[in-house]
Amino acid sequence: MLITADQRQSLETLIELAARGRALRHEHDNPKDAGALAELVAKHKEVAARKTSAAEAVETLRAQVAELSETIEKQNRLIEKKTAELNAGTGLTSRDLVTLQDEIAGHGDRVAELEETELGVMEELETAEAALTEVEASLAEVTAAGRAMQASIKERKTELAAELREVEESAQTLKAELPDGLVRQFEHNVGQGGPGAAILTGPNCQACGQEISGMTWKGMLGNDVNETYECEECEAVLLRRG
């Protein structure tokens, strides 16, 4: 199909616009930060799991401290009760008194022992609480970084979508300047995943790579430079380099 020099200019610009549109679409569908975001999501999952186990460790130690305190409390109550019995002394033989004294001393030893254990567990609890605070801070950091990255990806996508709309509008304007048949051919090739049209720099389709026979190529070289062709293989609009 023979087109005018102005139409040739429009077609060349359309080819450039279509390439720009494909690049924008590619970036829109494959955000540059998608990999980094996936890494942050994985990191978030890992830190969240660490937080869960750190919180569990704290809970376990708190329960141990509570249990020890209760046991100590029971022992202290026994000491009080037996000390009162001892002080009252009512109906007690001297042997009973000795037994009570021994028992009170035994409870005292038990309390000392339990308190030492409790102190150790409390130290462990302090360490576990510090670890939990630290992991909570990391989790907050990762969460914030993930949100910021999601927002920036979204923002970039919005920008790209706006640019794509501009490209599409300009392409529509250019298409209006071209013959209908040529536009249909262009759009058909785009629909097949091709570039629509391509400039021939040699005897190969620049859209699909298909070789153009020597005879056809020779014929093309003899034709008007503004003559357009259809690739036999991919049906893209072809135009010789001016």
Distance CA 187, CA 107 (A): 94
Please work out the total of residues on this chain that contact Zn ion, with binding judged by CB under 5 A.
8
CB closer to Zn ion out of 147 and 241: 241
**234 is a contact residue toward Zn ion (CB under 5 A):** yes
CB closer to Zn ion out of 61 and 182: 182
CA angle 13, 18, 19 (to 5 degrees): 100
CB closer to Zn ion out of 115 and 235: 235
**197 is a contact residue toward Zn ion (CB under 5 A):** no
> Closest distance between Zn ion and the C-beta of residue 191, in Å?
14
Secondary structure (DSSP) of 154-192: HHHHHHHHHHHHHHHHHHHHHHHTS-HHHHHHHHHHHHT
> Closest distance between Zn ion and the C-beta of residue 177, in Å?
24
- Which residues, in sequence order, are CB contacts of 84 under 8 Å at separation 6+? none
- For Zn ion, the binding residues in 202-231 under the rule CB under 5 A are 205, 207-208, 210, 231
- The partner residues of 12 in beta bridges, in order of sequence, read none
Q: Is 42 exposed, middle or buried (0-12, 13-18, 19+ CB in 10 A)?
A: exposed
- For Zn ion, the binding residues in 119-178 under the rule CB under 5 A are none
* Selected range binding Zn ion among 10-18, 61-69, 116-124, 199-207, rule: CB under 5 A: 199-207
CB closer to Zn ion out of 68 and 234: 234
CB closer to Zn ion out of 22 and 82: 22
Q: How far is CA 85 from CA 80, 95, 152, 241, in A?
A: 9, 14, 76, 115
Residues that bind Zn ion (CB under 5 A): 205, 207-208, 210, 231, 233-234, 236
